[in-house]
Amino acid sequence: MAQTRELAAYAAGLRYEDLPDDVRDRARECIQDTVGISVFGANLPWGKFAIDYARRNAAVGDCALLGVPGVKISAPFAALANGVLTHAFEMDSLRKPGTGVHPGGIVPAALAVAQQEGATGRDLITAFVAGMEVTTRIGLSTRHSSEEKGFHAPGLTGVFGATVAAGSLLKLDADQMCNAMGVAGSLCSGLLEFAKSGSGGMVKRLHIGRAAEGGVLAASLAKDGYEGPASVLEGKFGFLNAYTNDPLTEKLTDGLGSNWETRTICFKRCACHATAHTPVQAFEELRADMGFTAADVDSISIGSSRKVLANHDIPEPQDLMAAQYSVPFSVALSFFHDPMDPTSFLGADLSDPAILALSRKIKLELFDETTKPGQAWACRARVTLRDGREGEKILSDFRGSPTQPMSTDEFDGKFRAATRALGEAAAEALLSRLKMLEDNEDVGNLAP
């Protein structure tokens, strides 16, 4: 069986009863995390743009706009807007090791269709896992090489995950799911120029929104009989050959049904790019061990991967997106503000002389340890202090990864910090419903 067809058949046939307990738990946690950060995103300018667009153009429907109490609209526009909110502030989940996949990006399409169809919490969890298992394998097959061509991977692989999740909730059979994936392949989009131009970073937030909207479109058309190429992933002019260099097509179905990629989901503690999380944590630990402040620092070096050196060495960012994308700036900010509080980044003064002075002292260099399998986020943090003391910390993971999970209090604390705008009572009620998702007979109540 061709690989696209095999993935489609797997996704169409997946049932809640097939899922191991820890996979169900990870899926529920990802849905909780995504809903919380989307509520935060609703109060940001680009989130408001997406919400206003959706409200102007959508029909009244059954689907919540996260962070907008009392408003229900049609599924495609809810998926679009909520997708923007999900990726609105660099707080959404990842896969470890990184493959350009944002698991939380599956949730907006899945939630919209689940609410449209009156689905249960178990249906939503199953759909999420189906999307995660498929989109991650596509990400692994790309070898992250789409970014070498200038594509932003979540806008490419994300539409497949959203399509599969939506298709699961629409109860597509294997042939319909294959057609849906075939349609999804023509909806991939997203360029990385925002990271190089010094302007236009807002567009990054749109990539997951469009992927979510595309997932609803592709699955809905396929349910009605719309057709797409059955070899959309592996074909000569399919996704992998069009968007990547030297793809590993065998990864598309490797371990399917036995090796659960949902277990690889990582959750962020801080509102910055994943490549900054390990360095931020390393310097938190060094400061605790050595007792120093920014004023005591003579120099800092951070050893990291070639990807970080190429895309994330931005000591003086010109806009907020670039600040969150910058390893030096994110580390410097964490010396002065609580990086766990998203408002620390939201309210960051990009011209703050103290933060910029420290950011300029941070030099990035290649760290060979990052070339080892599974060490994509490894870093070596070194500091030299004015009094001559030196410190070093090597970390391979940050808290929130599968090997270093956050505590329940820390994980729920992130949700509470992100949903303050709802008020304590409404936020706690929403958190309770998310924690009891498996018992939910109609996820229409997963709304602020």
Q: What is the pLDDT of residue 199?
A: 81
- 30 is written with which tokens? 């990802």
Per-residue pLDDT of 147-204, as tens digits, reads 889 999 999 999 999 999 999 999 999 999 999 999 999 999 999 998 778 788 899 9
How far is residue 446's CA from residue 218's CA, in Å, rounded to a whole number? Answer: 24
Cβ proximity of 99 and 252 under 8 Å = no
Q: What is the pLDDT of residue 195?
A: 79
Question: What residues does each domain of the chain span?
Answer: 3-269+415-445, 274-395
Model confidence at 424, pLDDT cuts 50, 70, 90, reads: very high
Average pLDDT, the chain: 95
Per-residue pLDDT of 358-386, as tens digits, reads 999 999 999 977 666 556 688 999 999 99
Model confidence at 239, pLDDT cuts 50, 70, 90, reads: very high
Residues 52-66: what's their mean pLDDT? Answer: 97
Q: What is the pLDDT of residue 310?
A: 86
Q: What is the pLDDT of residue 1?
A: 65
Instruction: Specify burial of residue 425 (Cβ count, 10 A radius: 0-12, 13-18, 19+).
Output: exposed
Q: What is the pLDDT of residue 78?
A: 98
Q: What is the pLDDT of residue 372?
A: 63
Cβ proximity of 285 and 356 under 8 Å = no
Half-sphere exposure of 314 (CA within 13 A, CB side): 25
How far is residue 122's CA from residue 416's CA, in Å, rounded to a whole number? Answer: 24
Q: What is the 3-state secondary structure (H, E, C) of the chain?
A: CCHHHHHHHHHHHCCHHHCCHHHHHHHHHHHHHHHHHHHHHCCCHHHHHHHHHHHHHCCEEEEECCCCCCCEECHHHHHHHHHHHHCCCCCCCEECCCCCCCHHHHHHHHHHHHHHHCCCHHHHHHHHHHHHHHHHHHHHHHCCHHHHHCECHHHHHHHHHHHHHHHHHCCCCHHHHHHHHHHHCCCCCCECCHHHHCCCCCHHHHHHHHHHHHHHHHHHHHHCCCCCCCCCCCCCCCHHHHHCCCCCHHHHCCCCCCCCHHHHEECCCCCCCHHHHHHHHHHHHHHHHHCCCHHHEEEEEEEECHHHHHHCCCCCCCCHHHHHHCHHHHHHHHHHCCCCCHHHHHCCCCCCHHHHHHHHCEEEEECHHHHCCCCCCCEEEEEEECCCCEEEEEECCCECECCECCCHHHHHHHHHHHCHHHCHHHHHHHHHHHHCHHHCCCHHHCCC
How far is residue 24's CA from residue 314's CA, in Å, rounded to a whole number? Answer: 38
Q: Is domain 274-395 in CATH 2.30.140.10, yes or no?
A: no
CATH class, 3-269+415-445 region: mainly alpha
